[in-house]
């Protein structure tokens, strides 16, 4: 049977007006129902053929979970179809970012219920494709959702529906109606939304001002460097150490996997988004010849108890999570996967594993090329903002660098530089242990649970790590080794009775930063002074109501999930700077907003 949506003409009436994207920095299109790739691929093809095209084309499409199977090959566009099929993501709910033509064409898939997802997207759309028949009586609600994210004079094209003209008119669209389709333009005669959709930072406006200082050269800072450089930004990367990836990012290996809980919580959805985006970015680096020392056989998580194993197995089924993402495994299957006996059942992430954080950082800096200027062995003591420019100084008051944008990616020191209210982050000491020729030599895959064990090669295993809140001791302690081995022994009985001299074991100490809610701090920082002066009005504020410090962003407090958070943090900040569609739902961005603790204090009347 012919699919009327898949086989519809590329654009209804006048919607393909390529003059609207001529020499634009970004151009964004939203399709309310993904049609198997027809419109995206034809738009992509038109963009490729236009010598006056926009620099970056963003195509955002809402796709129902039941339609999240890989699209079919389009006979008239086989090359582009194959690229889309090859890049198709694991079918799980949430926002998926697919990048083509070196990131100049971006397809953002919002997987889930269309009515719900349209409320969660945050972007400024220049064009809309609306399948009216799919929404029926919901069209007034849908029209308001589109008006919330419409750019000035955004064009909307839709199939005709009796309720559509009034719905669009009420939402602020001026209508040009035809017998089979409706073309409209967003031109409200009154205020139809509380907040304006996102716009680019002023620094993104031209090549001369497109310059950022990134303070901190760990996973967060290096990821930001690469994501900004890919958009043509110059980056000055500053770190107090002699090279990148020195602190926790310098560990021999790190594990990466999402969280699956009994409910699909904010934390579970955020780690899912971060995990999938990290896999995508690492694959791109590897395709360019960078060896990230990534394991390829999956990762096994051992449940804390038999009850937890059963509950997570039920959750996997209830959420319909695919086997390519996670599998519940009993004790026998877990033992087979691990290559040695395990204590309990658990779950297996086929795409999870271990990777070298330092190799990731090095690859990202290399890819940034000559857009990167490094300033190592340099500690930033303070930053100042004057006349639209941020300046960094050392402890002697000596000038270090200046730029219109500064991004704090320096873990626990970020809150000091930013002067954040009530100091919401805390330091965590982590000591890891390296075993040589131990009972864990046969371990086949990285294993996590109460602790973790990572095979580093023949006769060497990394275990850890302690989690010592507010402990600033930099020395390796025998007690930390004992703790690490005891925790791993709870998952791998082969370590029972294994008692090496802890004082002789190899190890490493690194310091991380966490918040009280264990969520990272990612995004634009609030102007706390301006907010204090307006505290009464802001006592019921939402994140978008807060005044923000111009050009000041943060990406820190990653805790033990730097590998998961870093890439997503970098893409979110780059999107905020460029006025691009955000790579996650707005409610998830609110959960990691660096201003959330200050906002909570405002709401609770603690600031006057």
What is residue 78's three-state secondary structure?
A: helix
Same domain, 103 and 167: yes
Token pair 């699956």 is found at 260
DSSP state of 228: H
Same domain, 129 and 45: yes
Instruction: Tell me what pLDDT residue 179 has.
Output: 66
Looking at the domain assignment, is residue 408 inside a domain? yes
Instruction: Tell me what pLDDT residue 497 has.
Output: 87
Is the per-residue pLDDT at 58 higher than 80? yes
- The share of the chain scoring above pLDDT 70, in percent, equals 97
Same domain, 105 and 229: no
Pairing mode of beta strands 447-448, 452-457: antiparallel
Instruction: Tell me what pLDDT residue 15 has.
Output: 52
The residues that bridge with 21 in the sheet, in sequence order, are none
Band of residue 12 on the pLDDT scale cut at 50, 70, 90: very low
Looking at the domain assignment, is residue 279 inside a domain? no
Q: Which domain holds residue 398?
A: 203-239+360-424+517-603
Same domain, 38 and 65: yes
The total number of structural domains in the chain stands at: 3
The 10s digit of each residue's pLDDT in 348-392 is 999 999 999 999 999 999 999 999 999 999 999 999 999 999 999
Instruction: Tell me what pLDDT residue 372 has.
Output: 98
Q: What CATH number is given to the structural domain containing 569?
A: 3.50.50.60
Band of residue 10 on the pLDDT scale cut at 50, 70, 90: very low
- The share of the chain scoring above pLDDT 90, in percent, equals 92
Is the per-residue pLDDT at 430 higher than 60? yes
Instruction: Tell me what pLDDT residue 528 has.
Output: 95
**CA–CA gap between residue 462 and residue 454 (Å, rounded):** 5
Is the per-residue pLDDT at 205 higher than 60? yes
Looking at the domain assignment, is residue 292 inside a domain? no
Task: Select from 319, 350, 381 the last residue of a domain.
Answer: 350
Same domain, 53 and 143: yes
The 10s digit of each residue's pLDDT in 453-469 is 999 988 999 999 999 99
Is the per-residue pLDDT at 6 higher than 80? no
Looking at the domain assignment, is residue 382 inside a domain? yes
Same domain, 333 and 209: no
Same domain, 149 and 227: no
Backbone angles phi, psi at 507, to 5 degrees: -170, 180
Instruction: Tell me what pLDDT residue 16 has.
Output: 59
Band of residue 433 on the pLDDT scale cut at 50, 70, 90: very high
Q: What CATH number is given to the structural domain containing 145?
A: 3.40.50.150
Looking at the domain assignment, is residue 113 inside a domain? yes
Band of residue 19 on the pLDDT scale cut at 50, 70, 90: confident
What is residue 220's three-state secondary structure?
A: helix
Instruction: Tell me what pLDDT residue 92 has.
Output: 97
What is residue 418's three-state secondary structure?
A: helix
Token pair 């330092």 is found at 358
Same domain, 376 and 234: yes
Same domain, 47 and 130: yes
Same domain, 164 and 54: yes
Q: What is the mean pLDDT of residues 412-437?
A: 94
Same domain, 308 and 418: no
Band of residue 1 on the pLDDT scale cut at 50, 70, 90: very low
Same domain, 412 and 312: no
Looking at the domain assignment, is residue 271 inside a domain? no
Looking at the domain assignment, is residue 497 inside a domain? no
**CA–CA gap between residue 222 and residue 454 (Å, rounded):** 24
The 10s digit of each residue's pLDDT in 258-281 is 999 989 999 999 999 999 999 999
The 10s digit of each residue's pLDDT in 158-197 is 999 999 999 999 999 999 876 678 999 999 999 999 999 9
CB 170 within 8 A of CB 146: no
Mean pLDDT of the chain: 94
Q: What is the mean pLDDT of residues 493-499?
A: 92
Instruction: Tell me what pLDDT residue 75 has.
Output: 95
**CA–CA gap between residue 560 and residue 254 (Å, rounded):** 9
Looking at the domain assignment, is residue 305 inside a domain? yes
């Amino acid at each position: 049977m012919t699919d009327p949506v898949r086989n519809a003409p590329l654009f209804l009436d006048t919607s393909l007006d390529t003059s609207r994207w001529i020499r634009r920095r970004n151009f964004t299109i939203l399709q309310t129902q993904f049609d198997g790739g027809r419109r995206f691929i034809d738009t992509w093809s038109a963009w490729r053929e236009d010598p006056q095209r926009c620099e970056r084309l963003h195509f955002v499409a809402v796709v129902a979970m039941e339609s999240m199977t890989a699209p079919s090959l389009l006979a008239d566009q086989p090359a582009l179809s194959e690229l889309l099929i090859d890049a198709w993501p694991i079918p799980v709910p949430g926002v998926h970012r697919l990048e083509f033509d070196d990131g100049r064409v971006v397809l953002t898939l919002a997987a889930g219920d269309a009515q719900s997802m349209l409320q969660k997207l945050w972007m400024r759309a220049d064009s809309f494709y609306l399948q009216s028949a799919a929404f029926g009586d919901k069209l007034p609600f849908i029209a308001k959702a589109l008006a919330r994210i419409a750019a000035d004079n955004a064009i909307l094209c839709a199939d005709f529906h009796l309720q559509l003209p009034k719905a669009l008119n009420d939402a602020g669209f001026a209508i040009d109606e035809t017998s089979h389709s409706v073309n409209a333009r967003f031109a409200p005669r009154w205020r139809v939304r509380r907040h304006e959709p996102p716009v680019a930072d002023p620094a993104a406006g031209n090549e001369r001002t497109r310059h950022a200082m990134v303070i901190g050269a760990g996973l967060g800072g290096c990821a930001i460097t690469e994501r900004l450089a890919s958009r043509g930004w110059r980056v000055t990367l500053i770190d107090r150490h002699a090279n990148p990836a020195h602190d926790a990012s310098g560990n021999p290996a790190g594990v990466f996997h999402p969280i699956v809980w009994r409910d699909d919580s904010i934390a579970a959805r955020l780690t899912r988004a971060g995990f999938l985006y990290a896999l995508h970015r690492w694959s791109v680096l590897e395709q360019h010849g960078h060896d990230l020392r990534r394991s390829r056989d999956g990762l096994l998580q051992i449940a804390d108890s038999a009850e937890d194993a059963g509950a997570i197995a039920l959750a996997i089924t209830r959420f319909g999570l695919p086997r390519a993402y996670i599998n519940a495994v009993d004790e026998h299957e877990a033992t087979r996967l691990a290559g040695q006996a395990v204590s309990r059942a658990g779950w297996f992430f086929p795409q999870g594993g271990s990777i070298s954080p330092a190799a990731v950082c090095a690859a990202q800096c290399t890819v940034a090329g000559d857009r990167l200027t490094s300033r190592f062995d340099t500690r930033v003591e303070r930053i100042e903002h004057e006349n639209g420019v941020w300046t960094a100084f050392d402890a002697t008051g000596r000038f270090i660098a200046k730029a219109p944008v500064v991004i704090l990616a320096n873990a626990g020191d970020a809150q000091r530089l930013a002067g954040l209210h009530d100091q919401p982050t805390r330091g965590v000491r982590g000591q890891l242990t390296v075993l040589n020729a131990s009972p864990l030599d046969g371990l086949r895959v990285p294993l996590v649970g109460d602790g973790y064990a990572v095979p580093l090669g023949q006769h060497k295993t990394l275990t850890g790590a302690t989690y010592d809140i507010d402990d600033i001791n930099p020395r390796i302690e025998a007690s930390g080794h004992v703790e690490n081995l005891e925790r791993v022994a709870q998952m791998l009985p082969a370590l029972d009775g294994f008692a090496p001299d802890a004082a002789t074991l190899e190890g490493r100490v690194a310091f991380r930063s966490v918040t009280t809610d264990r969520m990272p701090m990612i995004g634009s920082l609030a102007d706390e002074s301006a907010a204090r002066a307006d505290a009464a009005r802001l006592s019921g504020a939402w994140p978008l109501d807060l005044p923000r410090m111009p050009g000041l962003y943060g990406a820190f407090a990653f805790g033990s999930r730097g590998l998961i958070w870093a890439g997503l943090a970098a893409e979110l900040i780059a999107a905020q700077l460029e006025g691009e569609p955000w790579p996650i739902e707005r409610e998830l961005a609110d959960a990691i907003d660096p201003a959330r603790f200050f906002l909570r204090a405002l709401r609770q009347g603690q600031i006057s």
